């Protein structure tokens, strides 16, 4: 599970996106290209910027996780690292701006499947810095903090030095609790970067309607204690109080039994799980963490858990991990959770 521990918090000065699409390649080989009597690639970029026509609604300046970026026009060549940024972009009708994806977690939303499959997949997990450069992006949009892992050579500064802008999903920007407002704000921010604010507003309205419909269906029902099981055997890796999952559970008529865990994700003991007596277990499903059936079998086979109400009644709700993150799926997750927590409200 990628819990965003490698959060690059840069305090670099504001920078503008270079209008040359091959800026990354130019920087990488600038030592070879600069010869006597020739201008530098930086001079060329500045000259091009000075003569480039303005685009309606631009420039747009975005403050993102400590990095300020000014966009003079919508990015034309985007690489997304992790699935939820890709699905957000596709939901805004931005397929033509995407030149690469990486690290699919779950089955793609059905209505986005065709477009998603048409985008080159650069890697099954996070791609190397060099692999990203080969796609010649002008923007890299990361989902988890690990998208810009400094120890793997993909820091935001490394991309900036190569003339490539970066944007990190706001869920991994800081230490505050994540809410559905973050989802709506993220959609609107991407809409602003690409000059499609009307599409963003329309998408936000649709997501809000989905959430409101599910929340209304369970309004007045008792709050059911829910334990999130992500993974783990000697300890349980679960969603903490700062995770979006905690709010999704609340909106669905439940309460996260580890909402007091002061983190997005963290380890808890099985003794703590037993003490908190969850009545429902939400299992997060994603590639590389074992199948849902294996997770259920593991939980049901633990003698220490046999008296936990959720185990006795075999009450499980399965959610794709991507549905519990800041992205378009989170609104869908509220209904899925509500149906699992309060099935009587949907009969």
What residue segments make up the domains of the chain, in order of their start?
A: 15-174, 220-346
CB 248 within 8 A of CB 334: yes
pLDDT digits (tens, 9 = 90+) for 96-108: 999 999 999 888 9
CA 284 – CA 201 distance, rounded (Å): 29
**Six-digit token string for 126:** 């996070």
CB 181 within 8 A of CB 123: no
Average pLDDT over residues 83-100: 97
pLDDT digits (tens, 9 = 90+) for 6-57: 333 333 334 333 333 333 333 333 332 222 333 333 444 444 444 445 678 8
CA 248 – CA 267 distance, rounded (Å): 20
CATH number of 15-174: 3.40.50.1980
pLDDT, greater one: 13 or 337: 337
Nearest to 148 by CA among 158, 139, 138, 134: 158
pLDDT classification of 173: cutoffs 50, 70, 90? confident
Residue 56: strand pairing partners:
none
pLDDT digits (tens, 9 = 90+) for 231-259: 999 999 999 999 999 999 999 999 999 99
Please check whether the domain covering 220-346 is classified as CATH 3.40.50.1980.
Answer: yes
**Six-digit token string for 118:** 């048409």
pTM for the whole structure? 0.82
Q: Name the average pLDDT for the chain.
A: 86
- Domains 15-174 and 220-346 agree in fold: yes
């Amino acid at each position: 599970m990628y819990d965003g521990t490698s959060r690059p918090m840069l305090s670099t000065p504001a920078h503008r996106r270079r209008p040359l699409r091959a800026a990354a390649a130019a920087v990488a080989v600038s030592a070879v290209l600069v010869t006597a009597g020739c201008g530098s690639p930086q001079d060329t970029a500045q000259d091009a910027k000075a003569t480039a026509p303005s685009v309606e609604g631009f420039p747009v300046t975005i403050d993102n996780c400590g990095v300020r970026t000014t966009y003079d026009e919508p990015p034309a060549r985007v690489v997304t690292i992790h699935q939820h940024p890709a699905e957000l972009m596709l939901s805004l009708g931005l397929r033509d701006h995407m030149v690469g994806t990486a690290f699919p977690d779950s089955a793609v939303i059905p209505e986005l499947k065709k477009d998603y499959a048409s985008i080159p997949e650069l890697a099954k997990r996070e791609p190397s810095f060099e692999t990203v450069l080969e796609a010649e992006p002008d923007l890299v949009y990361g989902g988890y903090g690990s998208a810009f892992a400094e120890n793997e050579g993909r820091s935001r500064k490394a991309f900036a030095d190569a003339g490539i802008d970066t944007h990190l999903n706001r869920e991994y920007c800081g230490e505050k609790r994540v809410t559905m407002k973050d989802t709506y704000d993220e959609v609107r921010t991407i809409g602003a970067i690409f000059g499609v604010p009307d599409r963003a507003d329309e998408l936000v309205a649709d997501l809000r309607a989905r959430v409101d419909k599910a929340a209304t269906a369970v309004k007045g029902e008792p709050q059911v204690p829910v334990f999130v099981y992500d993974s783990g055997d000697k300890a349980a890796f679960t969603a903490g109080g700062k995770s979006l999952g905690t709010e999704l559970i609340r909106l669905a008529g439940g309460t996260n039994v580890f909402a007091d865990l002061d983190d997005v994700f963290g380890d808890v003991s099985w003794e703590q799980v037993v003490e908190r007596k969850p009545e429902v277990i939400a299992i997060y499903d994603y590639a590389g963490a074992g199948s849902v059936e294996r997770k259920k079998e593991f939980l049901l086979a633990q003698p220490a858990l046999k008296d936990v109400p959720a185990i006795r009644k075999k009450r499980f709700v399965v959610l794709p991990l991507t549905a519990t993150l800041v992205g378009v799926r989170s609104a869908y997750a509220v209904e899925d959770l509500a149906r699992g927590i309060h099935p009587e409200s949907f009969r």
